[in-house]
Chains A and B, each alone.
Chain A
Amino acid sequence: MAVTDSLSRAATVLATVLLLSFGSVAASHIEDQAEQFFRSGHTNNWAVLVCTSRFWFNYRHVANTLSVYRSVKRLGIPDSHIVLMLADDMACNPRNPKPATVFSHKNMELNVYGDDVEVDYRSYEVTVENFLRVLTGRIPPSTPRSKRLLSDDRSNILIYMTGHGGNGFLKFQDSEEITNIELADAFEQMWQKRRCYHFSFSYNELLFIIDTCQGASMYERFYSPNIMALASSQVGEDSLSHQPDPAIGVHLMDRYTFYVLEFLEEINPASQTNMNDLFQVCPKSLCVSTPGHRTDLFQRDPKNVLITDFFGSVRKVEITTETIKLQQDSEIMESSYKEDQMDEKLMEPLKYAEQLPVAQIIHQKPKLKDWHPPGGFILGLWALIIMVFFKTYGIKHMKFIF
Chain B
Amino acid sequence: MGLLSDPVRRRALARLVLRLNAPLCVLSYVAGIAWFLALVFPPLTQRTYMSENAMGSTMVEEQFAGGDRARAFARDFAAHRKKSGALPVAWLERTMRSVGLEVYTQSFSRKLPFPDETHERYMVSGTNVYGILRAPRAASTESLVLTVPCGSDSTNSQAVGLLLALAAHFRGQIYWAKDIVFLVTEHDLLGTEAWLEAYHDVNVTGMQSSPLQGRAGAIQAAVALELSSDVVTSLDVAVEGLNGQLPNLDLLNLFQTFCQKGGLLCTLQGKLQPEDWTSLDGPLQGLQTLLLMVLRQASGRPHGSHGLFLRYRVEALTLRGINSFRQYKYDLVAVGKALEGMFRKLNHLLERLHQSFFLYLLPGLSRFVSIGLYMPAVGFLLLVLGLKALELWMQLHEAGMGLEEPGGAPGPSVPLPPSQGGKHTGPRQGLDGTEAGSPDLPSTAAGLHRPHQLLTGLPAGHHHGAHCCACQASWAPDPLCCPAGADQPGSHAPWQPVPVAGAAGGATVTGRGLAALPGSASPGCAGAPHLRRPALPTAVPGPLPLLAAFLECALLEVRSACPGWDRDSPRTPFCLLLGK
Residues in B125-148 with C-beta less than 8 Å from chain A? 135-138
Residue of A nearest to B4 (CB): A395
Q: Is A97 an interface residue (CB 8 A)?
A: yes
Q: Is B173 an interface residue (CB 8 A)?
A: yes
Contacting residues, chain B, for A38 (C-beta < 8 A) = none
Q: Is B84 an interface residue (CB 8 A)?
A: no
A372-389 interface mask toward B, CB cutoff 8 Å, 1 = contact, 0 = none? 000000000000000000
Residue of B nearest to A244 (CB): B58
A97 touches B174 (CB 8 A): yes
Q: Is B2 an interface residue (CB 8 A)?
A: yes
Query: Interface-forming stretch among A72-80, A196-204, A245-253?
Result: A245-253
A251 touches B58 (CB 8 A): yes
Q: How far is the CA of A95 from the CA of B54 in the complex (A)?
A: 12
B174 touches A57 (CB 8 A): no
Contacting residues, chain B, for A247 (C-beta < 8 A) = 60-61
A95 touches B56 (CB 8 A): no
Q: Which of B3, B54, B138 contacts A94 (CB 8 A)?
A: B138
A394-B1 contact in complex given A55-B54, A249-B344, C-beta closer than 8 Å: yes
B60 touches A249 (CB 8 A): yes
Residues in B303-354 with C-beta less than 8 Å from chain A? 344-345, 347-348, 350
Q: Which of B1, B53, B61, B348 contacts A95 (CB 8 A)?
A: B348
Q: Is A56 an interface residue (CB 8 A)?
A: yes
Q: Is A99 an interface residue (CB 8 A)?
A: yes
Where chain A touches its partner, the secondary structure class is loop
A250-B177 contact in complex given A94-B136, A95-B347, A391-B2, C-beta closer than 8 Å: no
Q: Is A96 an interface residue (CB 8 A)?
A: yes
Q: How far is the CA of A24 from the CA of B137 in the complex (A)?
A: 72
Q: How far is the CA of A57 from the CA of B60 in the complex (A)?
A: 13
A263 CB to closest chain B CB (Å) equals 25
Q: How far is the CA of A94 from the CA of B347 in the complex (A)?
A: 10
Residue of A nearest to B3 (CB): A395
Contacting residues, chain A, for B298 (C-beta < 8 A) = none
A246-B175 contact in complex given A57-B53, A395-B3, C-beta closer than 8 Å: no
Q: How far is the CA of A221 from the CA of B475 in the complex (A)?
A: 78
Q: How far is the CA of A250 from the CA of B345 in the complex (A)?
A: 10
B58 touches A249 (CB 8 A): yes
B10 CB to closest chain A CB (Å) equals 13
Residues in A73-96 with C-beta less than 8 Å from chain B? 92-96
Q: Which of B53, B60, B136 contacts A246 (CB 8 A)?
A: B60
The contact size tier of chain B is 20 to 34
Where chain B touches its partner, the secondary structure class is loop
Q: How far is the CA of A250 from the CA of B54 in the complex (A)?
A: 10
A395-B135 contact in complex given A97-B174, A251-B58, C-beta closer than 8 Å: no
Contacting residues, chain A, for B73 (C-beta < 8 A) = none
A225-254 interface mask toward B, CB cutoff 8 Å, 1 = contact, 0 = none? 000000000000000000010110111000
Contacting residues, chain A, for B347 (C-beta < 8 A) = 95
B136 CB to closest chain A CB (Å) equals 7
B172 CB to closest chain A CB (Å) equals 11
Contacting residues, chain A, for B344 (C-beta < 8 A) = 249
A386-402 interface mask toward B, CB cutoff 8 Å, 1 = contact, 0 = none? 00000100110000000
Residue of A nearest to B173 (CB): A97
Contacting residues, chain A, for B137 (C-beta < 8 A) = 92, 94, 99
A395-B61 contact in complex given A95-B348, A249-B348, C-beta closer than 8 Å: no
B58 touches A95 (CB 8 A): no
Q: Is B436 an interface residue (CB 8 A)?
A: no
Q: How far is the CA of A249 from the CA of B60 in the complex (A)?
A: 5
Contacting residues, chain B, for A249 (C-beta < 8 A) = 58-61, 175, 344-345, 348
Residues in B155-195 with C-beta less than 8 Å from chain A? 173-177
Q: How far is the CA of A251 from the CA of B58 in the complex (A)?
A: 7
B59 touches A246 (CB 8 A): yes
Residues in B35-70 with C-beta less than 8 Å from chain A? 53-54, 56, 58-61
A108 CB to closest chain B CB (Å) equals 13
Q: How far is the CA of A389 from the CA of B53 in the complex (A)?
A: 51
A94-B135 contact in complex given A56-B54, A57-B54, C-beta closer than 8 Å: yes
B348 touches A395 (CB 8 A): no
Q: How far is the CA of A95 from the CA of B349 in the complex (A)?
A: 10
Contacting residues, chain A, for B56 (C-beta < 8 A) = 57, 250-251
Q: How far is the CA of A224 from the CA of B347 in the complex (A)?
A: 47
B59 touches A94 (CB 8 A): no
Residue of A nearest to B55 (CB): A57
Contacting residues, chain B, for A246 (C-beta < 8 A) = 58-61
A95 CB to closest chain B CB (Å) equals 5
Q: How far is the CA of A123 from the CA of B176 in the complex (A)?
A: 21
A94-B348 contact in complex given A99-B137, A246-B59, A249-B58, C-beta closer than 8 Å: no
Q: How far is the CA of A57 from the CA of B177 in the complex (A)?
A: 14
> Can you add 13 more A-B contacts, CB < 8 Å, to A246-B59, A249-B60?
A55-B54, A92-B137, A94-B135, A94-B138, A95-B347, A97-B174, A99-B137, A247-B60, A249-B61, A249-B348, A250-B56, A391-B2, A395-B3
- Where the two chains meet, the residues of A that have a C-beta atom closer than 8 Å to any C-beta of B are 55-57, 92-97, 99, 244, 246-247, 249-251, 391, 394-395
- 15 examples of A-B residue contacts, CB within 8 angstroms: A56-B350, A57-B53, A92-B137, A93-B177, A94-B137, A94-B175, A94-B176, A246-B60, A246-B61, A249-B61, A250-B56, A251-B58, A391-B2, A395-B2, A395-B3
- Where the two chains meet, the residues of B that have a C-beta atom closer than 8 Å to any C-beta of A are 1-3, 53-54, 56, 58-61, 135-138, 173-177, 344-345, 347-348, 350
Q: Which 4 residue pairs across A and B have the least CB separation, nearest first?
A: A246-B61, A94-B138, A244-B58, A249-B60
